[in-house]
A and B are shown apart, each in its own frame.
Chain A
Amino acid sequence: MTTIPTPLKPAIRLRGFDAWYGDFQALHSIDMDLPENRVTAFIGPSGCGKSTLLRWINRMNDAIPGARSSGQLEINGHDVLGPATDVVELRRRVGIVFQKPNPFPKSIYDNVAFGARLHMKATKAEMDELVEWSLRKAALWDEVKDRLRSSALGLSGGQQQRLCIARAIAVGPQVLLMDEPCSALDPRSTASIEELMVELRESYTIAIVTHNMQQAARVSDFTAYMFLGKVVEFGATLDIFENPDCQETEDYITGRFG
């Protein structure tokens, strides 16, 4: 079991967590604690299970036929996997941002308000306040404040991805999951998203899956290296990148993998 240094409070706790797609076991007894208000990066070669793990944290895998899991997965002390857990409520607390920016074919305003409207019956003033706050938080407000009613599909890729982040935080999550959020973006947009992540970690616990070593080094506080469905090494990012315990981790990070 990998523990995290003390003053930090664990937000997400995994103990003996296994996951399968049909007969294929995608994750093998994962034990780890993701600390609150920190960015944890998951790195590793394609197919190592990092996206699967991420998608189990807010149970996005429920819809996939044949996907099942066992073990313990808790968020702030609440059981995620149990039958008593309401996935709708869970996903409200655990937001997710996907690889490809995918705003709804609606206006910018309606995109941000979408989730909040699902959960709440708010007045226009309250909703305006929420939309503005979320867009500011996602560092998009200044760029779109004059065209909130125009279609979100008219934004650039980077803007669309920040809109998706704004949309996710507008429902008031505690955890943000990001599944390769920059892999479809150009370097400038990537830089702006990375900047945003560093700021958002003050308010949210963030887990990010990335293929980009530099990105993991730049934005994350902790890094987990995964291989063949196992967490090979997990620790402070600096340690992992500069002084990895395992040879495999070092090989992967320095590009000697495979």
Chain B
Amino acid sequence: MKHAPKPALLADSAVIAKRTRSLAARHRKDIFFRNVCRTVASSSALVLVLLLTAILTQGLGSLNFQFLSGPPDPDPAIAGLWPAMMGSVWLVVLTLVIALPLGVAAAIILEEFQPRRVYLRRIHSFVQLNITNLAGVPSVVFGILGLTVFVSMFGIFGNGQEAGMEVGVTYFDQFYNEGDFILEVPVADQAQPVAEPVEGMTVFSYEGTAMALHLLGDDEEWPADPALAKRSLRTWDAPGRIQENSWWYFRLPFGRGVLAGALTLMLVVLPIIIIASQEALRAVPSSLRQAALGLGATPLQTVRQITLPAAVPGILTGAIIAMSRAIGEAAPLLMIAGIVFITHAPGNMMDDFTAMPLQIFNWAGRPQKEFHDLAASGIIVLLTALLIFNTVAVVLRQKLQKPLS
């Protein structure tokens, strides 16, 4: 059969002529598709240009010092982004501080200590699959998890609105007397009843000096001596309860504070950091590891002194990607903090907060065009921060990247 006659498609010139596709048409298709490709690809670049132009034209007008340094305001003309910017800074720093060690540690175990035993290997690949899946969980779901676990802690410590346990806080009752002086009475905790003025009890001036209270009845004359007036109250004077949080104020449950927000963002960025760190560790040539192990270093010493330092540029790049994600993420924060009117930067980890993406969302969702302009200005600030992050990443990578082999 080796000398079988050639098939019609190769031998019969009539068939060949009839069946052959037009070469010109095939080339036309090729060129046509290349042009389609170019159009499509440049259109995605065009979308980027369009997006940036629209935002710049809309937002540059209201981007001024007032906007950058002031608090939000119902009047769009004087509204500012300062508390949101500071909120974002708190969130990003806290998120990174929590997520980076956790993520790098997990990456080290997954990449550098791959088990040999079969059942351990199963666990290992399960953990790996689990991380892939976490990376695909919508961030809003992490938000709802954070709401339950961090904000209210399943309601273990009460209703979640008020602190069940707290440190770093002082309470005092504050009186405001007829002579326009402030007198303060310290109280042990929030549960104490409101202080009743008693003759001779110790009170503190606004400046903090201890004084003996001088109590006056209804009809007694207000003392003329300013030193006496400073420590005088009428019997019917009633105080207000003041809470003063130190910068290390801490409470359980966390409530809708910065820490709850940062922990929730940590859930979002953890898979990113783990995957990036794993890739960075994987890229370290195994000859380096073997050299260290050959010199008698334990596996952990090898990781700490050889592998990890070599992987630092890659890990930092991952950390910056995670920061970029954290600073732009809005959905989980919306679940945690909602949209609240906040006029001050957070002072401690439990403070209420807003963040740039939340403020942008708030302004963008209003019907008035003036607020849309503010949203655009906010976007410019946010994108500038992202641009800085990415520039830092590029510079770091170039500075730290030494040839490894």
List residues of A whose CB falls within 8 A of some B CB: 86, 88-89, 116, 118-122, 126-127, 129-130, 132-133, 136-137, 139, 141, 172, 199
Other than the given A118-B21, A119-B20, A121-B21, 20 more pairs (CB < 8 A) read A86-B23, A86-B27, A88-B23, A88-B27, A116-B9, A118-B26, A120-B21, A121-B20, A129-B7, A129-B8, A130-B7, A130-B9, A130-B10, A133-B7, A136-B4, A137-B2, A139-B2, A141-B1, A172-B10, A199-B2
Decide yes or no whether B340 CB sits under 8 A from chain A. no
Knowing A120-B9, A122-B9, A172-B10, say if A133 contacts B4 (CB, 8 Å): yes
Q: Separation in Å of the A117 CB from the closest CB of chain B?
A: 9
Interface residues of B in 283-333 (CB under 8 A from A): none
Q: Report the separation of the CA atoms of residues A194 and B165 in the bound assembly, to the nearest whole angstrom.
A: 85
Report the minimal beta-carbon distance from A171 to chain B, rounded to whole angstroms.
Answer: 9
Question: When the two chains form the complex, which single residue of B2, B16, B23 contacts A136, counting CB atoms closer than 8 Å?
Answer: B2
Specify which chain A residues have a CB less than 8 angstroms from the CB of B399 in the assembled complex.
none
For chain B, give the interface size range: 10 to 19
- Seen from chain B, the residues whose Cβ lies within 8 Å of a Cβ on chain A are 1-2, 4, 6-10, 15-16, 19-21, 23, 26-27
Is the pair B6, A122 in contact by a Cβ cutoff of 8 Å?
no
A-B contact pairs, 21 of them (CB 8 A): A86-B23, A86-B27, A88-B23, A88-B26, A88-B27, A89-B23, A118-B26, A120-B16, A120-B21, A121-B21, A126-B15, A126-B19, A127-B9, A129-B7, A129-B8, A129-B9, A130-B7, A137-B2, A137-B4, A139-B2, A199-B2
Min CB gap A162→B, angstroms: 13
In angstroms, Cα B21 to Cα A162, docked, is 27
Question: Looking across the interface, which residue of chain B has its beta carbon closest to that of A142?
Answer: B1
Q: How far is the CA of A179 from the CA of B45 in the complex (A)?
A: 42
CA–CA, A192 to B9, complex, Å?
A: 27
A136 to B4, CA, bound (A): 8
In the complex the two chains form, what is the Cα distance from A141 to B4 in whole Å?
12
A133, B6: Cβ atoms under 8 Å?
Answer: yes
Tell whether, in the assembled complex, residue A126 and residue B23 are in contact, meaning their CB atoms are under 8 Å apart: no
A137 to B10, CA, bound (A): 13
On chain B, the residues within 8 Å of A86 by CB distance are 23, 27
Q: Tell me the nearest residue of chain B to A131, going by C-beta.
A: B7
User: A118 — which chain B residues lie within 8 A by C-beta?
Assistant: 21, 26
Q: Chain A residues with Cβ under 8 A from B26's Cβ?
A: 88, 118
Q: B20 to A120, Cβ gap below 8 A?
A: yes
* B19 pairs with A121, CB closer than 8 A: yes
List residues of chain B with CB within 8 A of the CB of A121.
Answer: 19-21
A122 to B2, CA, bound (A): 23
Specify which chain A residues have a CB less than 8 angstroms from the CB of B21 in the assembled complex: 118-121
Within 8 Å CB of B19, what residues of A? Answer: 120-122, 126
- In the complex, which residue of chain A has the Cβ closest to the Cβ of B20? A120
CA–CA, A119 and B19, complex, Å: 8
Give Cα A89 to B23, complex, Å: 8
Give CA–CA (A220, B318) in the complex, Å. 58
Separation of A218 and B211 alpha carbons in the complex (Å): 115
CA distance A136 to B6 in the complex (A): 11
Question: When chains A and B are docked, how far (Å) is the Cα of A85 from the Cα of B259?
Answer: 70
* In the complex, chain A residues whose CB is within 8 Å of the CB of B2: 136-137, 139, 199
Question: Within 8 Å CB of A199, what residues of B?
Answer: 2
| Cα distance A199–B6 in the bound complex, in angstroms | 15
Which residues of the partner chain B approach A122 to less than 8 Å between Cβ atoms? Answer: 9, 19
Report A178 CB to chain B, min CB distance, Å: 19
B24 CB → nearest A CB, Å: 9
**Which residues of chain A have C-beta atoms less than 8 A from B10's C-beta?**
130, 133, 172
Collect the chain A residues with CB atoms within 8 Å of residue B9's CB.
Answer: 116, 120, 122, 126-127, 129-130, 172
CA A139 – CA B1 in complex, angstroms? 10
- Beta-carbon nearest neighbor of B15 in chain A: A126
**Chain B residues positioned under 8 Å from A89 (CB to CB):** 23
